Amino acid sequence: MKTNRRTFLKTSALLGASLTFPAVAAAASLADSMPEASWKKLPRWRGFNLLEKFCGRNTPFVEDDFRMIHDLGFNFVRLPMDYKGWIVDGDRRKFDEKTLKEIDLAVEYGMKYGIHTMINFHRAPGYTVAKPQENPLVWDDQETLDICALHWQTFAKRYAGIPGKNVSFNLFNEPANIEIGKFMKVHQTLCEAIRAVDPNRLIICDGMSWGTKPTMELAELKVAQATRGYMPMEISHYHATWVGDYLRNMKRLPTWPIVSVNGQLFYPGKAGIQENQKAPSVIRFAPGCGMTQLRFRVGQVSSFARLLVEALDANGKPGAVLFDHSYRPGPGEGEWSEVVFKEEWKCYQNFYHKDETVEIPAGTRGVQLRVVSGDWMSVEELGFRTEKTDGETAFPCIASWGDRPFALDLDVQNGRLVADGASKKDAAWHWKEYVEPWQQWEKLGGVMVGEFGAYNKTPHDVVLAWLRDLMGNWKKAGWGWAMWNFRGAIGVMNSDRADARYVDYHGLQMDKKMMDLLQEF
C-alpha cells in the first residue's frame, strides 16, 4: 500500500481509520494535538517566517526547518510567497503543479511536526508591498481581482477539509491605507472564493497601514487579523538596504528605550504640510541654568533650506540672530557627506551629517530654529553645554513627518540637564501605540503578530532589550507571533551579526542569546 501526498494530508488531518504506517500515524497525532483556532480567538502560536518562495525565490521548503522549529519548542510557520513562482510563462491563469506540490510538502511537514502553517501571498496577482509594484492593481481592476480569487480558490481546493488549527490563509502582506470600499470589496471577493470550496477555512488578514492598524470592518467577513512588530523602525530597520534614505543612512546608533525629539523642519510655505508642521523648533531655558552652547547635527536637506537660529527672551519673543546658513545640496563634492538625487522630485536631497555650533549669550532664555525659505531639512542630534553641568548633554532626533518639530524645556537638576518635551519610546509606549488599538479589535476577532524582528546591523544588546519588551507585551496580551525570519539577517539562525555569539545547531549558526529569549516567551 502506498500513501500519496494528498492522501497523507487528508488522513493526517482527519485521523482516518486507514492510517496504517507508524510515521503517518505519528504525524496525524501531532497534527491533532495542535491548539484549536478560530477567527474569533487565535492561539498563542510562536514561530517563524520561512522564505523559500519569497520575492522571486522559488526553492523547495526544507523539512529540517520544520523539525528544528518543533524540537526547539515552537509550533508555527508563515510562508510569505510570490505567486509568480507557481504560474507558467507569466500566464496568471496557468499553474505550475511542481511548485504547488512543493507547497503541499510544506503543509505536510507542518502536520508531521505539529506546526501550524500559514499560507501568505506576499506578492499576489495585483498587489505587493515590495518593488516593483503590480500593474494593474487588484483594488482597481476587476479582471485582476478575478485572477487573484482564482489563485486563492486553487489553494482552497488543495487543502479543503484540513482543520484551521493546522492551516490558515493570510490573503495579503501589509496593505497600505487603501480606500475602505475598495479594500472590503477585494477581501469579500477572496473570502467568498475560498469558502465556496472550503467553507471552514481559517482566514487571517493583515491590518491596514502596513499591518499596524486594525480594520474593524473586517469583522463582517469573519476573519482574524495580523499586526506587526517592527516599531520603532529606527531599531528594526537600522541600515537596512531596502528602506528609505533616513534609516539606511542613520549615523547615530540605535538605543532602547529611545529618548528623542522630532528633528524634521519644514519651510512654512511648503505646499501640502500640516499646520502643526509649520511651527519653528523651540528650546526654552529655565532661569539660572547657564546655557552656554548649542550644537546641532544637520541630517538631510531637500533641494534648499535656509536655517536661522534666533535668541528668545523671557517672553518667548525672538531677538538676535545667532546662526544663519543656507544649505544647497547638489552634485559632486560639498559640505554634505552623501549625494542623493531624487528622480521623482527632480531635486537633490543630500545627507550632511554635519555638526554646527552656536554660542549662547548670557541671559538668553531660549532659542528657536526655523527654515525661513526653501523646502525641508532634518536635525539628527542636539547637544547642550551649561555652566552647571560637565561636558555636553546630547539628545538624538528622529525624522517624524507628521508631527510638530521639537519643543523642549531644559533645566539643570542635581547636576544633570533634563528635558521636558522629549518623547520616550519604551515598553509602555509600545503597549499604548501598538497593543491597545488591537485590543479594541479583539472584541470582534482574533489577533496575532505576523512578522517582527530587527536587521543584523542593529547592536545585538539593543535588539535583545527591545525584543524582551515587545514579546513581554504580546505575552501579556495573549498574542502569538512569528519572527521574520528563521534563517537570515533578521532571524535567529545564520543572521551574520558581527556582535552576537553563535553556536552550531545541526549545521546552522544559532544566535544563542536570542534563541533563549524567544523560548522564554
Q: 445-455 pLDDT, tens per residue?
A: 999 999 999 99
Q: Which CATH class is domain 34-238+428-520?
A: alpha beta
Cα separation, 417 vs 173, in Å, equals 45
The torsion angles phi and psi of 387, rounded to 5 degrees, stand at -70, -15
Q: What is the pLDDT of residue 26?
A: 60
Share of the chain above pLDDT 90, in %: 85
| Mean per-residue pLDDT of the chain | 93
447 closest CA partner among 163, 36, 114, 38:
38
Which residues pair with residue 398 across a beta bridge? Answer: 262
Cα separation, 290 vs 296, in Å, equals 18
| Confidence bin at 199 (pLDDT 50/70/90) | very high
Angstrom CA distances, 92 to 120, 126, 144, 147, stand at 17, 10, 9, 7
Whole-number CA gyration radius for the chain: 27
pLDDT in tens, 256-268: 998 888 999 999 9
Task: For residue 129, give the 3-state DSSP assignment.
Answer: coil
Q: Which of 232-236, 258-262, 476-480 has the highest mean pLDDT?
A: 476-480
Cα separation, 374 vs 303, in Å, equals 7
Identify residue 99 by its one-letter amino acid code.
T
Hey, what's the cell of 232?
Answer: 520603532
Hey, what's the cell of 162?
Answer: 484540513
Residue 17, pLDDT > 70, answer no
Task: For residue 284, give the 3-state DSSP assignment.
Answer: strand
Task: For residue 520, give the 3-state DSSP assignment.
Answer: helix
pLDDT in tens, 318-339: 999 999 999 999 999 999 999 9
Hey, what's the cell of 415?
Answer: 547636576
Strand positions, DSSP E, 174-236: 202-206, 224-229
52 closest CA partner among 68, 33, 65:
65
341 closest CA partner among 375, 391, 301, 372:
301
For residue 65, give the H/E element and its range.
helix 63-71
Q: What is the pLDDT of residue 212?
A: 96
Burial 477-515 (b: 16+ CB within 10 A, else e): bebbbbbbbbbbbbbbbbbebeebebeebeebbbbebbb
Locate CATH 3.20.20.80 in the chain: 34-238+428-520
pLDDT in tens, 389-406: 999 999 889 887 777 888
Q: What is the DSSP letter of 253?
A: P
The alpha-helical segments, DSSP class H, found in 288-335 are: none
Which residues pair with residue 228 across a beta bridge? Answer: 451
Hey, what's the cell of 381?
Answer: 542630534
pLDDT in tens, 28-80: 678 788 999 999 999 999 999 999 999 989 999 999 999 999 999 999 999 99
Chain-centroid distance of CA 437 in Å reads 17
Residue 16, pLDDT > 90, answer no
- CATH code for 258-423? 2.60.120
pLDDT in tens, 328-386: 999 999 999 999 999 999 999 999 999 999 999 999 999 999 999 999 999 999 999 99
Mean pLDDT of 105-133: 97
Q: What is the pLDDT of residue 251?
A: 81
Better pLDDT: 73 or 276: 73
> Which residue's C-alpha cell is 515552537?
74
From first CA to last CA, the distance across the chain in angstroms is 43
Locate CATH 2.60.120 in the chain: 258-423
| Confidence bin at 297 (pLDDT 50/70/90) | very high
Cα separation, 298 vs 355, in Å, equals 6
Q: What is the pLDDT of residue 504?
A: 98
| Confidence bin at 102 (pLDDT 50/70/90) | very high
Residue 508, pLDDT > 80, answer yes
Cα separation, 472 vs 475, in Å, equals 5
pTM (two decimals): 0.83
Helix, strand, coil shares of the chain, percent, nearest 5, are: 30, 30, 40
Which residues pair with residue 366 across a beta bridge? Answer: 284, 312
Q: What is the pLDDT of residue 8?
A: 52
Q: What is the pLDDT of residue 2?
A: 40
Residue 456, pLDDT > 90, answer yes
Cα separation, 120 vs 36, in Å, equals 20
DSSP assignments along 79-117, one per residue: EEEEGGGGEETTEEEEE-HHHHHHHHHHHHHHHHTT-EE
Contacts of 204 (CB under 8 A, 6+ apart): 39, 42, 118, 168, 169, 170, 223, 224, 225, 226, 446, 448, 450
Contact between 318 and 331 under an 8 Å Cβ cutoff? The reply is: no
DSSP assignments along 372-410, one per residue: EEEEEEEEEEEEEEETTSSS-EEEEEE--TTSPPPEEEE
Residue 25, pLDDT > 60, answer no
